Amino acid sequence: MGLEDVLSAMRSAEGKAGREGNTVGLVAVSKVQPEERVEAVLAEGHRVFGENRVQEAQDRWTKRREQYPELKLHLIGPLQTNKVRPAVALFDVIETVDREKLARKIAAEAAAQNKTVEVFIQVNTGDEAQKAGVAVEESAELIELCRNELKLNVVGLMAIPPIDEDPAPHFALLAKMAKEAGLPKLSMGMSGDYEIAIAMGATQVRIGSAVFGARKQSAAG
């Protein structure tokens, strides 16, 4: 695959779904990838990247920020409250807000750093015990708290469907929830299912291995 192939597959998925071209964004998931692959994708002009660990992201991106001012960094992995300060400092978008304590901490840090971060609420659509994400039935309340009380810039919903299930019903559920909440963005779809996600309304897909090649070690979740 590679960047060009993924982008063209995305454009054709938009077309097949009857969606306007070039409307779905690509978050290139660079976690665990060797530097030379990341450099190659930067050289091709891509500027939106996703990482799932704060420390790894700091190591990789802090200096590159100066070199690439248009960089947009998304945190797509679980966030511990003790890592909120560096996360708010580094990332433009935090996709994994899934509980009140974390939301409060992000709001406090954003205020302290005088920074606005975009936030997605991560929903555990498969109700999996080991997976991050707010329960479906608790999500409306969390969205409400984040928006109205904490004044976070909540832009959308994010989900990772269970690995062994058809992702389509999960994407459909997330899309329905976002619509009900009046949230414009949907972060859903990975290397194995992004075309389905685009058909079901994704506004951004998070793609690692199809862009960069297989990861050496597993960095799931």
Residues that bind ligand PLP (CB under 6 A): 29, 31, 52, 76-77, 160, 190-192, 206-210
Minimum CB–partner distance for residue 173 and ligand PLP (Å): 17
Contact 74, 122 (CB under 8 A): no
CB-wise, 121 or 150, nearer to ligand PLP? 121
Question: What are the tokens at 100?
Answer: 């009140």
Minimum CB–partner distance for residue 93 and ligand PLP (Å): 12
Minimum CB–partner distance for residue 136 and ligand PLP (Å): 18
Question: What are the tokens at 101?
Answer: 């304590």
Outline where the chain has alpha helix (H).
3-16, 35-43, 54-61, 64-67, 84-90, 100-112, 136-144, 168-181, 194-199, 209-212
Query: Which residue's Cβ lies closest to ligand PLP?
Result: 208
CB-wise, 175 or 207, nearer to ligand PLP? 207
Q: Which residues is 20 bridged to in the sheet?
A: none
Minimum CB–partner distance for residue 76 and ligand PLP (Å): 4
CB-wise, 29 or 150, nearer to ligand PLP? 29
Minimum CB–partner distance for residue 89 and ligand PLP (Å): 21
Minimum CB–partner distance for residue 189 and ligand PLP (Å): 8
CB-wise, 167 or 201, nearer to ligand PLP? 167
Residue holding tokens 């994400």? 133
CB-wise, 129 or 214, nearer to ligand PLP? 214
Contact 76, 29 (CB under 8 A): yes
Residue 148 φ then ψ, to 5°: -85, -45
Contact 75, 117 (CB under 8 A): no
Residue 126 φ then ψ, to 5°: -90, 0
CB-wise, 58 or 191, nearer to ligand PLP? 191
